[in-house]
A and B are shown apart, each in its own frame.
Chain A
Amino acid sequence: MTWRNMNSIMSIVLIMGAIGYALNLNHSASQAIFFASSGVGPTYFPNVLAGLVVILSIVTLVKNLRDTSDGNTAKITTPNAGYILATFALVVAFLLSWQFLGFFYVNVFILLTALMTLYRIEFGFKNSLTVALITAVATTGFLYVLFGQILALSF
């Protein structure tokens, strides 16, 4: 994907987001009419903001579509994109597991081990797993002592 396409998509997302926000706002605050005797009810300011986002995003969109410079038409490169996606997936799995199963510290240990093994995979699976396990045990232990024992936070 090129920077131009990505910018255009973002502008469209912002326009749709601002419209969605305004619709939800006016629906959830439909009783706001009772507070708007001076014309400045609780929806006035947010509606102005949403309108401005739409206008400026349209300006950005048009400006972007007219920009045919090399920089804007170049393809987006994201080094380590796979690692970013894998990190996101692992964090989602961690949150789901923690939210529905509990066992916070076990989940932290697994997440740390998985992330560090993944990130250091270029050093070989065995090596990265060993380093990850040692670091995860030490870090989880430290977090347990700090948050679970000293600060007495329950997760």
Chain B
Amino acid sequence: MDIFINDLGNLFTLTNILCILLGTVVGMVFGALPGLGTVIAVALLLPVTFTLPPLAGILMLLATYQAGEYGGSISAILLGVPGTPQAAATVIDGHPMAVNDSPGKALSYSLLSSSIGGIFGGFVLIFISVPLAKFALNFGSPEYFLLGVIGLMAVGLLSGTDKIKSSISVLLGLIAGTVGVDTLTGVNRATFNQPELMDGINLVAFLVGMFAISELFMMISKGLNTSYSGDGQNLKTGLTAKEVKGIVKPTLIGSLIGAGTGILPGIGGGASCWFAYAVVSKTSKNPEAFGKGSPEGIAAPESSNNASAGGALVPFLALGIPGSAAIAIIMGAFIMHGIQPGPNVFTAERDLVYGIFYGFILTTVAMYLVGRLLTPAFSRVLVVPNSFLVSIVFVLCLIGIYASKSAFFDLWLALGIGVVFYVLKRLNYSVSSVIIAYVLAPIIEENFRRSLTLANGNYDVFFSSIYSIVLVLMIVAALGGSIFADIKKRRTTTG
């Protein structure tokens, strides 16, 4: 009990609360604005975490992540344009309800189910990650290497439509992660005689260039003065007890599906909201209402995408495997503070881990309160055209990059990365795969080399324990399953 009170004492500091509120507001605004989204918000706030204590910085990013998931539904409901891919399923019932009934009611369903989903995800995080981390303490270097490979395969095989291009994206991320001084030998690797590259490619420059700058070019392409217009009236949020009762079942189903899919690397909220929507629409007593403004059709995807945020933190904290781009950026904050996620972090940084556990639930509560108070204000942000957003966000990107290391080299690098990834995105290469591979590169390489060095170069080391054999079998099964699915798809297309 004393430990629990101590954990809460560490959590409820002024800095932590302010950081959670800041993250919530930024996440909600960026989530609500079509084109910007959660990942850009998390990437832009990453440099701010430099100056903060680790717990405050990480909670700020988690609050951004959580609030962004809800924020995406604001534009989905009011405009019929999802602010984030995770809110795509919400459009189907959220927008008709906003048009035919009440936008405030639709937003209330979204906010309440998002909050319940977030809290559910938080409990899943607390109750699953500790035993998983204890189990992972049995793992050695070969198992960590294989786990990293599984993480990459999940992302590479599941996230992109073109598997070869996804695989190339993974390799590009791994290559980027190897630049700089080798930590095991101190040897310089591919620094092109640039002293700024000795510590590796600056994470902030890499992230902001890849996600934000390339996306700003995309936004320019989509139109600069398109002004969205929605019903600005009747935005007050609130539900009756009967209305709340009506969404209990879809919210629980959505939360379960979201948390479950969130745990699996590479699937994430984007897919889980569609799974939840499909399951709830099939099991509903009122299936004919779906697509016409059904509250269940809002509750299921919204609870699902927020629950998936908690689920995605399980493999990240317990095993050190980030399952999505946003989590990979949050992993960047850990790395910047010299903390390596994985089972050992539960003993080495106990206060931090438990602060994240309880703090994650606090971020959900903050999202609910801020959402109740400020949703009408956020909805007005939606009318800001891209001509203003692109200009201001561009300057914020450059400030964020410079603030991280005060190096002009990083600004030029980020601009170059932004241009390259603008082209790569248009050619269907997977940006999420690149960033996840980039943060996993040191774990994969170090454990690969350590395993082989200890085994004198003998590759049998990767089959030396029951755990590693199971992991190898999982890799083979995933690869086989993917090849089988491809062949089946090709036969269906040609047949």
Residues of chain A at the chain B interface (Cβ within 8 Å): 3, 6-7, 10, 14, 18, 21, 24-25, 28-29, 31-32, 35, 38-46, 49-50, 52-53, 56-57, 59-60, 63, 76, 78-81, 83-84, 87-88, 91-92, 94-95, 98-99, 108, 111-112, 115-116, 119-120, 122-123, 135, 139, 143, 147, 151, 153, 155
Contacts and interface: CB of A to CB of B under 8 A. Distances in A.
Contacts of B445: 45
A49 B415 contact: no
Interface residues of B, number: 57
Interface of B: 51, 164-165, 167-168, 171-172, 174-175, 178, 182, 184-185, 187-193, 216-217, 220-225, 386-388, 390-392, 394-395, 398-399, 402-403, 408, 411-412, 415, 419, 423-424, 426-427, 445, 448-449, 452-453, 455-457
A80 B223 contact: yes
A110 to B, nearest CB: 11
A52 B424 CA distance: 18
B395 A60 contact: no
B187 A84 contact: no
A14 B169 CA distance: 11
A115 B391 contact: yes
A39 B167 CA distance: 25
A14 B402 CA distance: 28
Contact of A92 (B167, B178, B415, B448): B415
A60 B165 contact: yes
A94 B448 CA distance: 44
B392 A38 contact: no
Contact of A56 (B171, B222, B457): B171
Given A95-B415, A119-B390, A135-B388, 16 more contacts: A24-B190, A28-B188, A29-B189, A38-B453, A40-B449, A41-B185, A44-B449, A53-B175, A56-B167, A80-B220, A83-B220, A87-B217, A119-B225, A119-B386, A120-B387, A135-B391
Given A84-B220, A115-B394, A60 B182 contact: no
Contacts of B388: 116, 135
8 contacts: A3-B427, A49-B178, A80-B221, A87-B220, A95-B398, A112-B392, A119-B224, A119-B391
Given A112-B391, A116-B387, A29 B187 contact: yes
B82 to A, nearest CB: 21
Given A56-B167, A92-B415, A40 B453 contact: yes
B168 A87 contact: no
A18 B402 CA distance: 28
